[in-house]
Structure 1
Amino acid sequence: MTEGNADYGAMDSEDFRLMVRAWIQEHYPEDKRFIVRRMGMDEIGGWVRALGAKGWLAPSWPREWGGMGLPIRKQIIFMEELSRHGCARFPDQALNLVGPLLMTFGTPEQKARHLHRIARGEEIWCQGYSEPAAGSDLASLQCKAVRDGDSFIVNGEKTWTTLAFCADWIFTLVRTSNAGRKQEGISILLIDLNTPGVTVRPIDSFTGEREFAQVIFDNARVPSENLVGEADRGWDIAKSVLGHERVMVGAPIIPMMALRQLEDLMDRLGTFGDTGALDRYAALRLDLYDLTTMFEEYVRRIEEGSRLAETSRSSRSVRPNSTQRSPRRSCCRLGIWRVWRSRSRCRTMWRSRSKFMQLRGFPPFTAVPTRCSATLSHAPCCDCRAECDDERDPR
């Protein structure tokens, strides 16, 4: 069985974890671990190509399109191992957005042309949505595409386009008609960034880093075969793609990585022996556990055919709080803020969930009491030093 068609879904979960862990340890560059900014292909391209050659670049994609075909539980394991080793996020719009877009709405020719190349890391994509006068009000976009025979002539501008300067292609919303409501008359085009008339201008941040760019179209001729779905019906498709994006924004890999950095810092400072710091660390771990569980449930619903819009709204609502509780700034909050714990998260629950986290390869909680005396009254919870129902996070 070759790497490309290996059935990882049939593997034992622990064997799969150890295999992924060993391979990442051997192949991921040491000097690129726990990078806190987005990296371009000039920096992380070697890793992307290594994953592509291994067949591991698209864990959630079906095997028929070059993905690993992992069930959601193994996708989480894969995320955990990436976060454990501090693997940087690479340009992934093609994996998270273009892939689902083409699998659902693309023509057979579009799928055959792009999907396997994306899964091998041979095509990098960016997302052309926002414009200078159409950000949150995306339906007001004015970038125009006029039909000319078997092509579209595209004129306009996209801005704040993430990592466009290291992309090969852009999937973009264009206006093909002004009739009807502003949500109507919008289409989706796949545009090769090497097309004559397309200019990419990087936008420098205050820190000197480059993450965003302007993409300018000046009479760029795009083949009509690059139209996704029906002309003037792109808004509904775009909402579906945004739904996928919102679900992936809720993926727990960033909080996983942040918590791992926090663990390393606490280990170096010796604060795992401090009860107060350990309480707060345990609270963050439980938040991450909840986020991971919810993410698994949302992905399961999507795989079963549930409406993506409802699922993605829930995912979007939970992610910001869980992410903000465990980034780098959580390190300096140890000992400052007080963590709210309901009775369902008293020490007894911590001990049972600690066993679950040990099975995932995390270090065990070492200072969790063996019992909890909390009742339905307002009695203090063991030696938590506060009443469960009255403890609140003042942030």
Structure 2
Amino acid sequence: MAVIPVALGGRSYEVRVESGLLADAATHCAPFLRKTRVPVITDENVAQHWREPVERSLAAAGHEARWHVLPAGERAKSWTELARTVDWLLSEEVERGDHILALGGGVVGDLTGFAAAILKRGCGFVQLPTTLLAQVDSSVGGKTAINTPAGKNLVGAFHQPSLVLADLDALGTLPQREMRAGFAEVIKYGILGDPEFFDWCERNGHAAISGDTDLLEQAVARSVAAKARIVAEDERETTGARALLNLGHTFGHALEAQTGFSDRLLHGEGVALGMVLAARYSARRGLIAPDDAARVATAIAAAGLQTEISTLGLTCTGTALADHMMHDKKMDAGTLPFILLRSIGAAFLDREVALIDVSAFLDEQLLAG
């Protein structure tokens, strides 16, 4: 088992990475289960695969799982589902000292974490991420949120989990599209700060996505360790260090918004396209060599992900995409910082980017490919 500490003083916790963790969830979660009844939040898809093993584990330890099942997909990150979830938790008489189990991908983790943050001014929760993207990114670091018509993740809170159990067995139930989307976040850690890990992703990406357990454990553990270091340095994204984790997200979120936050473009797919765009825009501004930008695109394509926004069939302009960025939660004093590259493995926060220039660049990209 790989065990990665997230060092945050009194809010520190562990991320455990191994096969079989969900089948033994009660043992790992034992320090946080004070009552017989244990609230578990999941979604319709995850429940088909993992409700029974988790319920069996809890029952063997003398607990009764109480289930709240969300609709699958990004639509669950809404005011409506948040209200339903909080009302259900209150009906279950969840107290501040209790812990909620979040069993699912990033949507389940984000919604559950936000509900835990606001319920009675804060109760505990444990992340049981079942997608590659959630295991390497959204389950770690304490960002919780819902979407609104104005944009993605604009309403939320920082609320750290008490434990994260990344069960590699859960990845065996994922469609290849989900695995590819999750691997985009793995590649991200190499691009933003670890050129050796980027090399590793280039060599091993296809085999990891295809289900090689040893490679998946390395991918998850190394990604989590990278994120844990950054989160420990800048938990609430105030110094600029944590902002680097948003590489690809400003472009990606704009594409997600334009496609209606739907299955037309998964979050990881948006991030993958966003990283390609960030690399190309960095090259356009003379920050990195065109060959480095091409290498980023090649690595992402090798993982089975799209590298051209023209493949989305959008009918909008670059200005329309840039307009979505105006609602980005990273807006500060009327300017939007972008995560750009000085080289592969050297990302930085650029606060001098003009959106009119971004619009022109996106117009070029919409016509390319």
Higher helix share: 2
Which one has the bigger strand percentage?
2
Decide which structure has the larger Cα Rg and report it: 1
TM bin (shorter chain): under 0.3
Length-normalised TM-score, structure 2: 0.25
